[in-house]
Amino acid sequence: MDCLSRECVAVMEPGQEQELASSLPMKLFLFGFLLMFAGVVVIMVSALLGGDANVSGGAIIFVGPIPIILGAGSDAFLAIILAAVLTIIGFIVFFWMRKQFPKG
Same domain, 1 and 48: yes
- Same domain for 49 and 59, yes or no, is no
Mean pLDDT, residues 77-84 = 84
The helix (H) or strand (E) run that includes residue 16 is helix 16-21
Domain tally, the chain: 2
What range defines the domain where residue 88 resides?
55-104
E strand or H helix that includes residue 58: strand 57-63
Domain boundary among 53, 69, 93: 53
Q: Indicate whether 43 and 1 sit together in one domain.
A: yes
Taking 70 as the threshold, does the pLDDT of residue 21 lie above it? no
Inter-residue contact 82 to 71 (CB < 8 Å): no
Burial label for 20, CB within 10 Å (0-12, 13-18, 19+), is middle
Taking the CA atoms of the chain, what radius of gyration do you get in angstroms? 19
Cβ 69 vs Cβ 58: under 8 Å:
yes
- Mapping DSSP to helix (H, G, I), strand (E, B) and coil, where does residue 68 land? strand
pLDDT digits (tens, 9 = 90+) for 37-80: 999 899 888 878 877 767 777 787 888 767 788 888 888 888 88
Q: Same domain, yes or no, for 48 and 62?
A: no
Average pLDDT over all residues of the chain: 78
